[in-house]
Structure 1
Amino acid sequence: MTNAGENLLSAGVRDVNWLLDKFVADTDGVERAIGVSSDGLLIAISPPLSRAEAEKLAAMISGMTSLALSASRLLSKGPLRQVITEFGEGFLLVSAIRDGSCLGIVTYPNSDLGLVGYASAMLAQRVGALLTPDLITELKTSMIR
């Protein structure tokens, strides 16, 4: 059942949110995911993250992405594809989508990093195919509500 606010969202916004939710639900080892715009703002969120947690994570992902892009330029290694951070209890994968936007994927400790990395790259391609400057603006605006 959808609420009235969801009916006001465009098909593109609903598609991005659906892709993120489905990715978290269907990909073994994935705990949560968010979408972040090139300016570091939250554009999509999957349960069970709260809005406050997601905004903090978006800021961290934006900083990590900026550092990785700088390293890529300095080392002449081509475009950024993915940043992987390993913790004692899981991983944070940041996958470039397009035009500076990216996905942040949080995994459980026992996840298959190869599987999650491949699945997140496929998700980044699917979301990237949908993103336009207008859709990114609408996604940001939909997060304000």
Structure 2
Amino acid sequence: MPQTHDFNWLLANFVRSTDGVTETVAVSSDGLLMAMSDGLGRNGAERLAAIVSGVTSLARSASRQYGFAGLRLVMIEMGRGFLLMSAISDGSCLGVVATSDCDLGLVGHEIAVLCDRFGGLLTPQLVAELKSQALT
């Protein structure tokens, strides 16, 4: 399906063209892997999807607790890199692994642009197709 191809191409292009980004996953609202960047193995993608799902769930709960207007970006800074998570739409989210020498402003901007593009593509049918495709 063209939309599935478009979604996967956008994800792969984001990793290829954004300096410092090494891995990316798209995760559905029910916490399942929808898409992963090239070079990321199935087991690694599943682990990253589980982490992204858990952290974004906590962040959404915090947003509701304090009356904020939803989730935009969650950032975890580690010794040698970053894990960034952003809402796409309908509860889906994007998880991005980046190196410590990346330009965080640029990566954050590119994440926002990508999530906007993804939001326009995601339909319940596409989400189901992406999840099914990710299982193979």
**TM-score normalized with structure 2 length:** 0.98
The structural deviation recorded for 1:144 is 1.4
Q: Indicate the SS of the match to 1:123.
A: helix
| Corresponding letter in the other structure for 2:84 | L
Partner of 1:122: 113
Which of 18, 22, 36 is residue 31 of structure 1 equivalent to? 22
Which of 48, 56, 59 is residue 65 of structure 1 equivalent to? 56
Larger Rg belongs to: 1
The structural deviation recorded for 1:66 is 0.6
Structure 1 stretches of 5 or more lacking a match?
Answer: 1-9
2:78 pairs with 1:87: yes
Partner of 1:112: 103
Equivalent pairs, count: 136
Structure 1 segments (4+ residues) deviating >2 Å: none
Q: CA RMSD in A?
A: 0.6
The structural deviation recorded for 1:14 is 0.6
Structure 2 stretches of 5 or more lacking a match?
Answer: none
> Aligned residues: percent identity?
54
Partner of 1:54: 45
Q: Distance in 1 between matches of 2:56 and 2:3?
A: 25
Q: Distance in 1 between matches of 2:81 and 2:91?
A: 25
**TM-score normalized with structure 1 length:** 0.92
The structural deviation recorded for 1:25 is 0.3
2:68 pairs with 1:77: yes
Q: Indicate the SS of the match to 2:59.
A: helix
